[in-house]
Amino acid sequence: SQKIEQNSEALNIQEGKTATLTCNYTNYSPAYLQWYRQDPGRGPVFLLLIRENEKEKRKERLKVTFDTTLKQSLFHITASQPADSATYLCAPHTGRRALTFGSGTRLQVQP
């Protein structure tokens, strides 16, 4: 069956460092993958989309990679700030009319 894995343990890093979050998927080949940010008690907010024919996508301090051979996407936040603390969700496209989210990784950036 299709499976999406994100590191369930919180990631704690120091302000100014680069945060790297991992999304692994098995048993299917998504045409694209989206990343969202979710703050406590709020709905997710879209950050980036990367398609299967793209290796890398950037937006300001954010960078996403997509390795279809490893079935993995990496999400990087450079020069991290305490305001980046949140849960980050990956959502690979799992079917023509569906989007499936991973369970998310909580990032905590210490000042």
Kindly state whether residue 51 participates in binding another protein, applying the rule CB under 8 A. yes
Q: How far is the CB of 51 from another protein (least distance, A)?
A: 7
Residue with tokens 């980050």: 88
Q: Which of these, 85, 104, 75, 86, lies nearest to 15 by C-alpha position? A: 85
In the list 10, 31, 70, 79, the residue contacting another protein (rule: CB under 8 A) is: 31
In the list 27, 53, 60, 97, the residue contacting another protein (rule: CB under 8 A) is: 97
Amino acid at 81: Q
In the list 11, 32, 61, 65, the residue contacting another protein (rule: CB under 8 A) is: 32
Q: How far is the CB of 100 from another protein (least distance, A)?
A: 6
Looking at the Cβ atoms of 45 and 79, the one nearer to another protein is 45
The residue count of the chain comes to 111
User: Which listed range, 27-35, 54-62, 65-73, 75-83, lies at the site for another protein (CB under 8 A)?
Assistant: 27-35
Helix (H), strand (E), coil (C) string for 48-107? EEEECCCCEEEECCEEEEEECCCCEEEEEECCCCHHHCEEEEEEEEEECCEECCCCCEEE
Kindly state whether residue 45 participates in binding another protein, applying the rule CB under 8 A. yes
